[in-house]
Structure 1
């Protein structure tokens, strides 16, 4: 399992439109038969400002390549850069441990 954190500050557009875009992206992953169940994706926002954190998990390199080949991923990646004013940080992260009740079951 590979994990990533995507971080940026929201700078352009409306939060309502951006949240709808995030929802469409997640739905596209869930609707894709090759990706469903092989990618975990969460979007979180700092309550006190415009900083966003996306946590992504993929089962393997092949799944990551499949996702990156999809038009909906390319569109979402472009939109993320746009709302962030071009400043997006993607960091590979390592899972150390988690609770048994985590919604990212099997992510270790």
Structure 2
């Protein structure tokens, strides 16, 4: 399983930020080609400004499909705006994980 961790600092309007995240997650869950194949989580660090996003996917086809969608392009642009430029993105392979939520 592949994954990515994205981090950046944001201290703008929380409602606008949360709305963009919610719209992206809703679009992922509504997309029958990737629902259940792409998982996305977002967190706000204890400092209240650092934002952390984790994405995981099952295959290159899933990622390619996601990145070709208009909702992804809109979200990626929003994240760049929230971050004030390109966020830090680190790709990785998930080698082990716990079960459950």
TM range (shorter): over 0.9
Q: Unaligned stretches of 5+ in structure 2?
A: none
Give the TM-score normalised by structure 2.
0.93
Which residue is 2:6 aligned to?
6
Q: What per-residue deviation string (whole Å, max 9, x for no partner) do you get for residues 39-64 of structure 1? A: 01000111223101100001100110
Q: RMSD of aligned C-alpha atoms?
A: 1.2
| Distance in structure 2 (CA, Å) of the matches to 1:10 and 1:50 | 5
TM-fit CA distance, 1:5: 0.3
- Structure 1 stretches lacking a partner, 5+ long: 104-108
Distance 1:91 1:84 in 2: 15
1:68 corresponds in structure 2 to 67
Q: Which runs of 4+ in 1 moved over 3 A?
A: none
- Is residue 2:68 matched to residue 1:97? no
Cα distance, 1:35 vs structure 2: 1.1
Q: Distance in 2 between matches of 1:2 and 1:48?
A: 28
Alignment: residue pair count:
101
Helix, strand or coil: the match of 1:79? Answer: helix
- What SS does the aligned partner of 2:33 have? coil
Task: Describe the SS at the equivalent of 2:7.
Answer: strand
Alpha-carbon shift at residue 90 of structure 1 (Å): 1.0
| 1:52-77 deviation per Cα after TM superposition (whole angstroms, max 9, x unaligned) | 11000011001100000000000000
TM-score (norm 1): 0.87
